[in-house]
Chains A and B, each alone.
Chain A
Amino acid sequence: MAATSSSAAPFLSSSSSLSSPSSARRLLPLPVRRVSPSLRRRIPAVRAKIREIFMPALSSTMTEGKIVSWVKAEGDRLSKGESVVVVESDKADMDVETFYDGILAAIVVPEGETAPVGAPIGLLAESEDEVPLAKAQAQSQSQAQSHFSPPSPPPPPPSDPAPSPAPMAGAKAEAESPRKAVSTPYAKKLAKQHKVDIEKVVGTGPYGRITPADVEAAAGIQPKKPIAPAPTSAPAATPVTPSPAPSAATSPATKASAAPLPPIPGSTVVPFTAMQAAVSRNMVESLSVPTFRVGYPVMTDALDALYEKIKSKGVTMTVLLAKAAAMALAQHPVVNATCKDGKSFSYNSSINIAVAVAIDGGLITPVLQDADKLDIYLLSQRWKELVSKARSKQLSPKEYNSGTFTLSNLGMFGVDRFDAILPPGQGAIMAVGASKPSVVADRDGFFAVKNKMLVNVTADHQIIYGADLAAFLQTFSKIVENPECLTV
């Protein structure tokens, strides 16, 4: 309102002409004031006829009004006496109608927002020629008044300035192209709301139709969690494997409910990178899986000896452990399985060991495919390639999301044991601690100092039970303690 100096009052004369005092909605003439754009902005206007629609004072106590709904949309033609907008005052909702014929060129205050009495809420152009001008004016206005209508959506993408009919819900635009894309009612509404040109959206729904999700994707919005899930089919979302791709498929539901804590002074907020967002998403999603953990001590003297022997050939401890895990998994296929729908086991045909790797500002899990079949030297070579690809962020999706079992090793930091979170889509993850010399008593009561490593496996109890995991760990321990088989 600061931008326009004229007083609002004179334009609101006939608001009291209706009979019943308690009527909920009255038709009010839409207050408009003539704007000469050449005065306001230095646009060389040729007597362009643009009128401002401003917030009417619907009662003597009203200081501001909320736009309940725009009855008309941008680009709609208005004729005198038609209602254009519904305004909620402190007393009631009222239809506000226009005095003038014209085109609703621009909506300055969108639905749901509030504007002070007298502030411009829209622009009325007398003819189509003035529409672009009015739009330009609206943009400058919405910037000027952003101090009272805070989060007004970003200005519409530079759509063609010609008054092309916005994609309307009604049966307006048809027969333009022989085969126009089909879009659902809600998709159309969203497109209008987010000012997305629906013609340019690619439909991915049934029969190639444009769905609300397509429009949201085009508008760059995180799709909301569907509120009424189709219940007959299994509700569980298909597990999303760790993926640094920025477009999310599901959003964490639980996150939003926590009330934000007051910020600590001096803190900085750094938004997630795509990879960090993917990690966050997967971690939150993992909360829906009922997991449990089983720990096991493994003596590594033999393995350490083997490692010393073959490390010159490029074999790392990580690869040795991955190979050992893969061989153990071959004997315990259930630990390599996945529970996809909460109803069944999905046995994986190959054993692909994902190994968690910390890279600059992130975490990724390159996958050693068929780790049980490839020999240790090939596997080591493969691992080297994967790590360098991971560092340069060149892994292909298959190279980081095809894992069936994950290995996470923090032993090199001296960590003696830790607890890993099961990534969605897998049945189990193994957390490996450091191998340390420890005093152990053997069966006959003799003490000895041996290298002992604690491994801790987290598994999905929907499919993997305690005994399964214990048996698997026993096998794993035997392989590590008799590591000759790793090299054959």
Chain B
Amino acid sequence: MQASLSLSLSLPPAAPRSDPAPTVFRPSALRFCGLRREALGLRPLRPAGSTWVFPSPARTPSRKTVAAVSGNGSPSKGFDYDLVIIGAGVGGHGAALHAVEKGLKTAIIEGDIVGGTCVNRGCVPSKALLAVSGRMRELQNEHHLKALGLQVSSPGYDRQGVADHANNLASKIRNNLTNSLKALGVDILTGVGTIAGTQKVKYGKVGFPDTEITAKDIIIATGSVPFVPNGIEVDGKTVFTSDHALKLEWVPEWIAIVGSGYIGLEFSDVYSALGSEVTFVEALDQLMPGFDPEIGKLAQRVLINPRKIDYHTGVFAKKITPAKDGKPVLIELIDAKTKEPKDTLEVDAALIATGRAPFTKGLGLENINIVTQRGFVPVNERMQVIDASGNLIPHLYCIGDANGKMMLAHAASAQGISVVEQIGGRDNVLNHLSIPAACFTHPEISMVGMTEPQAREKAQQEGFEVSVAKTSFKANTKALAENEGEGLAKLIYRPDTGEILGVHILGMHAADLIHEASNAIALGTRVQDIKFAVHAHPTLSEVLDELFKSAKVNTGVSPSSVNEPVTV
């Protein structure tokens, strides 16, 4: 991660792509993804090699015990640090990296382990499990293998081996993260951080925050923990959250998954591939409520219906009792609307995937008059924290799950980078509609921007038209070569301007394919421009190529649109 970042930044701006058409080359095209055009303006790029290259040749030995190097700039007058970040998850890490790059003297306070939820109890280990489940599913699909001419006899797995893979991956990524911070000279301060006052942070053991430091700016990046609704008794064995499930201590024969969002869906993929039967409990009237309805429907057809999965929708799990005294796990369901008892499920295990709750307790927010909203720290669009009376608190920012704007690791990191930009005096607003999201089921689901209903609602309010284009993986050579033709890509756009409002993909490698769309949204690329971009043949990316090409943009109508297609 850090390697790719430094690499791209040290490239001279005069990229070869400007050669063939120097007149249309816009330097603004080299901005960070996810940053709004107007936020950055046409700011000239810095010359390569100034402060962009971070390893400073002059390094002084560490003053702090934990830090390896403390060469990350000298703090502003009167402060211990330019920037202190509370929480070393992906958000804090991304912010710290960017801060060092900007010459800020930076410290990061971690009370648990570096890497946070994503690396230790979230995205990272779950990807390891999903990598296994994907292969397992493939090996079990006799029909599919036969079509490819393959013969595999009785595939099996070793549960401990699978669990070890997930655990090893997490520790490897954790070490990478820690090392990258140390290599940059970020001070890693161990302990629980508390805000002591304006520009003041205390840290130390829980309840004994004995060391006080001052910082010009502070970022709260404390993340979140699994949310467990009232009435659900988590014992960590038969009733558990994703934290426990990722350790894969056992594979129940029948598991109920409460919540059918990303987490629930991914775990259903894992468990059903490993032989479990799954029952979803969803409070809303349809499964996968966050997805574009059409994608959700297809996902249900591909990921739910043919598998050993059933579901109860429109119900709350009012009470869940772990298995004990020879009884199975009991789940009492009530109607989500009428609250009347509906059913009782008896299963071997229950996974609570009802979302995540911000981890903001003990931060000392009350010291500076902040009232959290259901635990979330209120912030404006620049991640500046808002106090109880609605005023901005200077020098205090909150990023990531703790502010609840978009609970995704890469969103936290992008928010952190945006904050560092502001601290450095460059106003910056992150366009959350350009942040992609992915669900790593088999096949994968990914999305960026608005869903079709959201787009249509906005269109109605603002009086513009919305069009939808769709392509199927069935027509894609590469997908057919893999015998994975199941899938759909959907583009939601404005036919008058060609603005991309949203892209949703379900299909093989959808999570990797979405970035062409998310980059287009981030950079403001229009459909009529991107449709001339060339895609290698035969690749899955041609699904998007075809998608953009099939969009019908009314370029004559809108004055803002370009009449002549611009080669990129």
Contacts and interface: CB of A to CB of B under 8 A. Distances in A.
B2 interface: no
A174 B343 contact: yes
Interface stretch (A21-29, A238-246, A266-274): A21-29
Contacts of A93: 472, 474
A170 B313 contact: yes
Contacts of B474: 24, 92-93
B342 interface: yes
Given A22-B471, A86-B301, A253-B154, A182 B346 contact: yes
Contact of A186 (B277, B342, B472): B277
B552 A186 contact: no
Contact of A171 (B277, B333, B348, B552): B333
A69 B301 contact: yes
Given A19-B468, A228-B136, A228-B157, 17 more contacts: A19-B467, A20-B470, A22-B469, A23-B470, A24-B471, A169-B311, A171-B313, A171-B333, A171-B343, A174-B343, A205-B253, A206-B348, A209-B346, A225-B154, A227-B140, A232-B158, A232-B160
Given A20-B550, A228-B273, A92 B254 contact: no
6 contacts: A22-B472, A92-B474, A185-B254, A207-B346, A212-B277, A225-B154
Nearest to B253: A206
A69 B298 CA distance: 11
**Main DSSP-derived SS at the A contact region:** loop
Contacts of B278: 185
Interface stretch (B93-101, B167-175, B208-216, B302-310): B302-310
Given A22-B550, A185-B279, A232 B159 contact: yes
B496 to A, nearest CB: 15
Contacts of B254: 184-185, 209
Contacts of A21: 550
A361 interface: no
B328 interface: yes
Looking at A212, A227, A235, which has the most chain B CB atoms within 10 Å of its CB? A227
A171 B338 CA distance: 15
Interface string A189-216: 1000000000000000111010010000
A240 B468 CA distance: 60
A185 B315 CA distance: 17
Contacts of A231: 156-159
A231 B275 CA distance: 11
Contact of A253 (B153, B315, B345, B551): B153
A22 B308 contact: no
A66 interface: no
A281 interface: no
A70 B308 CA distance: 17
A21 B551 CA distance: 10
Interface residues of A, number: 38
Contacts of A169: 310-311
Nearest to B154: A253
> Which 9 A-B pairs have CB atoms at the shortest separation, nearest pair first?
A24-B472, A228-B275, A185-B310, A186-B308, A169-B310, A23-B470, A171-B312, A227-B140, A184-B277
Contact of B156 (A86, A171, A209, A229): A229
Interface of B: 136, 140, 151, 153-160, 251, 253-254, 273-275, 277-279, 294, 298, 301, 305, 308-315, 327-328, 333, 342-343, 345-346, 348, 467-472, 474-475, 488, 546, 550-552
Contacts of B342: 171, 174
Looking at A19, A225, A226, A228, which has the most chain B CB atoms within 10 Å of its CB? A228
Nearest to A71: B301
Contacts of A228: 136, 140, 155-157, 273-275
A189 B310 contact: yes
A171 B298 CA distance: 21
A170 B254 CA distance: 17
Interface string A1-39: 000000000000000000111111100000000000000
Contacts of A253: 153-154
A100 B47 CA distance: 68
A234 to B, nearest CB: 12
A230 B251 contact: yes
A323 interface: no
Nearest to A208: B346
Contacts of B301: 68-69, 86
A173 to B, nearest CB: 10
Contacts of A189: 308, 310
Contacts of A452: none
Contact of B154 (A170, A174, A184, A229): A229
A171 B157 contact: no
Nearest to A190: B308
A68 B474 CA distance: 14
Contacts of A225: 154
B546 A22 contact: yes
A188 interface: yes
Contacts of A25: 294, 298, 470, 472, 488
A389 B145 CA distance: 50
A229 B475 CA distance: 36
A207 B323 CA distance: 11
A446 to B, nearest CB: 58
Nearest to A254: B153
A170 B156 CA distance: 31
A23 B315 contact: no
A206 B328 contact: yes
A450 to B, nearest CB: 51
Given A23-B469, A227-B155, A69 B550 contact: no
Given A171-B333, A174-B342, A24 B157 contact: no
Contacts of B550: 20-22
Contacts of A226: 275
Contacts of B475: 22
